[in-house]
Amino acid sequence: MSTLLDILSAVAKSAGSEAAARVAKKAAPSIADWAWRPLQDVSKDVGLTAVPDYIQQGYGKFMQEQAGKASAGELGSRDLIKAYGITRSSVNRGAREVGDDIATGSARPEGYFSDWLMTPHGQAYLNDAQHGVVNDPAIADITQRFTPFGMADTLGKDLRYAATDLSPRGADLNSAITGDTAQWRDFAQSLNGIGPAKSGFIASMLGRGDLPTLDARQLVLQTGQPAKAASKFMRRGDGAGGDLAVDRLADRQSEMGLQIDPALAPFYQHLTHHAIWDSVGKSITTHDDVMRAMKLAGFGGGGVTLADILNKGSGNDSTGIQN
């Protein structure tokens, strides 16, 4: 016998709406039986009353700038491809020791990949990818370089997918970034390898900050259990359990009430996650490398490249970037 969910899904598909089909499949899960630690204990462990100034003045201001571009309709395929590649480079990987012409010493995978985007091979990849063309030599270069971080072949596949499938998606990027939460989630989670837990991470690079990232560090902090214990809850409802978990984390972060510049309030959830991540890990993560790549490795639908920017001379060039 067909269930109500089967019927809703079939109707949605017959109407040609993939988004509605996904919503139908994600109907009515519950994670009420998933016990999380008392929030007062979590807050005590975090030990913060405000989002640190280096985060607000650094990544916070960057997010504000990106949001302005999205509101003006200025983000495009190249921005999406960069944010997607940086996001996928970070998944299931951690900092490693490297030694080459990009970095020497301990490097974060997303930071290393961001710096690669500024190299000639990275620029060649983006120049082709934003037009739907796969640049095999460039991908071979990062695949070889990325070996210390693990799953280098997976990153190569991700970059091929980005080149072939994400170029046309740039047309919908600005409306997705500025739309409601459901619209953003539908857009982000239709991208290969981007689930509920990472929807907020990729969003932050494009100027949206209403969803925190639910990573391993947050899971251990919030639940007191190993991150792998979360899988059975987050898989519920064809992944809607993951959305519910992110929403629960957002509610808890709101209750923590960390002080923040009112102008950065739209980005509170991501910036609070950033603050918690650094506090628990006893680290200071500026994301300077990520911001540099997103701002200078070419941006928008017009395909402005790093060379274009550097060749403009001093002052404001036609892209609006301060040299």
The domain spans of the chain are 1-29, 37-98+169-310
The encoded tokens of residue 304 equal 């402005």
User: pTM value?
Assistant: 0.84
pLDDT at 19: 52
3-state SS class at 97:
strand
pLDDT confidence of residue 143: 97
* Burial environment of residue 168 by CB neighbours within 10 A (0 to 12, 13 to 18, 19 or more): exposed
pLDDT at 306: 45
| Cβ atoms within 10 Å, residue 245 | 24
Non-local CB neighbours of 90 within 8 Å, separated by 6+ positions: 108, 109, 110, 201
Task: Name every residue whose Cβ is closer than 8 Å to that of residue 1 and which is 6 or more positions away in sequence.
Answer: none
Instruction: Walk along the chain (323 residues) in steps of 10 and give the mean pLDDT of each run.
Output: 43 45 57 96 97 98 98 96 97 89 93 96 96 97 96 97 96 96 96 95 98 95 95 92 97 98 98 97 94 82 42 32 27
Element of type H or E holding 120: helix 120-129
pLDDT at position 28: 59
**Do residues 75 and 286 lie in contact, with contact meaning Cβ atoms separated by under 8 Å?**
no
pLDDT of residue 300: 38
